Chain A
Amino acid sequence: MKMTKIYEGSHQWIMFGRDEGKPGNIVDTNQYVVRTPNRCLLLDPGGAELFAPMMAAVLHHAPVDQITDLFASHQDPDVISSLGLWDQALTNAKLHAPALWEGFLRHYSCDSIEYVGIPDNGGTIKLESLELQLIPAHYLHSPGNFHVYDPQAKILMSGDVGGSIEPPDSPVFVDNFSAHVEKMRYWHQRWMPSNQAKRVWIERVRNLDIDILAPQHGRMFKGDDVKRFLDWFDALQVGIAV
């Protein structure tokens, strides 16, 4: 599992992905870790197949008992089907996930982990002195969907928005936006169902100061590519399957 530190300050952001040992027939995912001095938050920790490599990778940065928080942007298996395993490994942890999905996500087993349901209008996650904002992203693509914004690191973890399917050895950042567009087009047109939801999200996100846009699949965007992405997404017609 490739590990890339994308922010280092009073806390750290680490991106995990491009897992070479992953079975070929499952979609590649990016996982993110926010590390404060004594706590650790896993963002979209991944599918059950990914649990062992992900846990092993996290152990380079934090001991098991400091993994105190998990976040699931939505209910998909590539996001959080590992929940039942984290539930048995962690003795004192919370899962921050859409309140809408609680009864569904509990099918993965969530007995010892405390389920903290995020209301539709969003909320925050406090990690020691750090406060992360939970930005509503409903219908992008899931009916109950949130992204995580860190105002200190200026990072927006954007779930499936900005996603693309890439070969395992791809770079972790977009290096040529024009060339990257075609890798994202069908993904967004097919997976995102609502132009209205897209417009509302773009308006909301344009008000945030973002250095890095970090999707759950494919490459991250940094600097001017963040604005380029928002402009491109704004102009894109989505929900093409009907």
Chain B
Amino acid sequence: MTNQTKSQFIAVASITSELSAVMVVAKEISLAAANAKAIAFRAGDKAKGFQPITDFINELAKETIELVTNINIYALVLYRLTVEEYHKTIAFNKFELAAKMAEGALYAESMQEPVDQARLAMQDCQRRFKKDVSQLLGQLEEVMHHARAARVIAANSRIEASQAGEYLQSLQAVAESVDKAAHTIHDNVQRCRIALSIYRNS
């Protein structure tokens, strides 16, 4: 296995690992939103500005979970494609070697077609991999967008929390947890993007 193939396998496997962490965090945000909603309900008028924010937080968490679920399916497709490309590359290399070893054999020329077919199949896999990586990077960008939106919401939550009197601490804790979660999502997704981006134009 070449170093390029090894890093390709590692890159694809690391996406699944990073995204499972993102999924945990997105579920935590969803929980934080439910918690915030209960606090805001108890706080009544004092947390009036906070109530619509909880809906935003919940919506954002749901969308992130949905996106990550789709990306995970896509990552699996990318993994299978990596395996296919690996097999096609081995076949091409072995066919080329067979053709070389057969030089001078009566039917050596008949090996040319399998060599050409194997080359085309390998190149097709490489093209599909690049295309799929580009699409996956687009989907990851969308998750980043959600993470950025979550941070804005967290900032607004802090402002609204400051108006909530005795509920200030509870609501600030919600804002903190959303902000922390958004950071984690941002960092994990960023790592996925870095791991994959070298294959987009390779």
Chain A residues proximal to chain B, CB less than 8 Å: 48, 51-53, 55-56, 59-65, 84-85, 88-89, 109
Contact = CB atoms under 8 A, between A and B. Distances in A.
Contacts of A52: 94-95, 97-98, 101
A240 B143 CA distance: 63
A59 B106 contact: yes
Contacts of B117: 88
B94 A64 contact: no
A45 B115 CA distance: 19
Contact of A63 (B98, B101, B107): B107
B107 A51 contact: no
Nearest to B101: A56
A73 B69 CA distance: 45
Contacts of A85: 90-91, 94-95
Given A51-B94, A52-B94, A88 B114 contact: yes
A56 B105 contact: yes
Interface in B84-117: 87-88, 90-91, 94-95, 97-99, 101-102, 105-108, 110-111, 113-114, 117
A21 to B, nearest CB: 9
28 contacts: A48-B94, A52-B94, A52-B98, A55-B102, A56-B99, A56-B102, A59-B98, A59-B102, A59-B106, A60-B102, A60-B106, A60-B107, A61-B106, A62-B107, A63-B107, A64-B107, A64-B110, A64-B113, A65-B110, A84-B87, A84-B91, A88-B114, A88-B117, A88-B118, A88-B121, A89-B95, A89-B114, A89-B118
Contacts of B88: 88
Interface residues of B, number: 22
A111 B94 CA distance: 18
Contacts of B108: 59
Contacts of B90: 85
B94 to A, nearest CB: 5
A51 B98 contact: yes
Contact of B87 (A51, A60, A63, A109): A109
Which residue among B88, B99, B102, B117 has the maximum number of chain A CB atoms within 10 Å of its CB?
Answer: B102
A122 B66 CA distance: 54
A52 B105 CA distance: 13
Contacts of A51: 94, 98
Contacts of B121: 88
Nearest to A1: B101
Most chain A CB within 10 A, of B107, B113, B117, is at B107
A65 B31 CA distance: 63
Given A55-B111, A89-B91, 11 more contacts: A52-B97, A56-B99, A59-B107, A59-B110, A61-B107, A64-B110, A84-B87, A88-B88, A88-B117, A88-B118, A89-B118
A18 to B, nearest CB: 15
Contacts of A89: 91, 95, 114, 118
A59 B107 CA distance: 5
Given A52-B97, A55-B102, A64 B111 contact: yes
- The 7 tightest CB contacts between A and B, nearest first, are A56-B101, A63-B110, A56-B102, A55-B98, A63-B107, A52-B97, A59-B105
